[in-house]
Structure 1
Amino acid sequence: MEELFELELEEPFELELEELFELEFDELFELEFEELFELEFDELFELELEELFELELDELLPAN
């Protein structure tokens, strides 16, 4: 009887908590990281690459 009760209690709680945390963390981190990285990397790379290429190309190309 005790074993049955243990099993019945353990399973639902494990599942509920796992599902809850998985969902909450996945959603949270996905959104936060996606937004953060998208913004930071887009801005960073766009600026840095543009500046880099502009400078390098200007230096490399002979003046007209």
Structure 2
Amino acid sequence: MTLESLAKFGATIPGAIPDLLDPQLLTFGSDRGMMVCGFEEIAGVRYYQGWWMQWINE
């Protein structure tokens, strides 16, 4: 599934935020957070990145 929108005559408009391709869960701690890595492809170039998502208890 991509984040592209439909334009006229069935054409697509790329989303403002590129999709994170081949996402992989590296670590998961139910009490702390999780680390996910993947890559975006922009103009035919791959940009690899990692995301640390942390739980916040309020």
Q: What TM bracket, shorter-length normalisation?
A: under 0.3
TM-score for both structures, normalised by structure 1: 0.17
Higher helix share: 1
Select the structure that is richer in strand: 2
Larger relative contact order (Cα-Cα within 8 Å, sequence gap ≥ 6):
2
Compute the TM-score of the two structures, normalised by the length of structure 2: 0.18
Which structure has the greater CA radius of gyration? 1
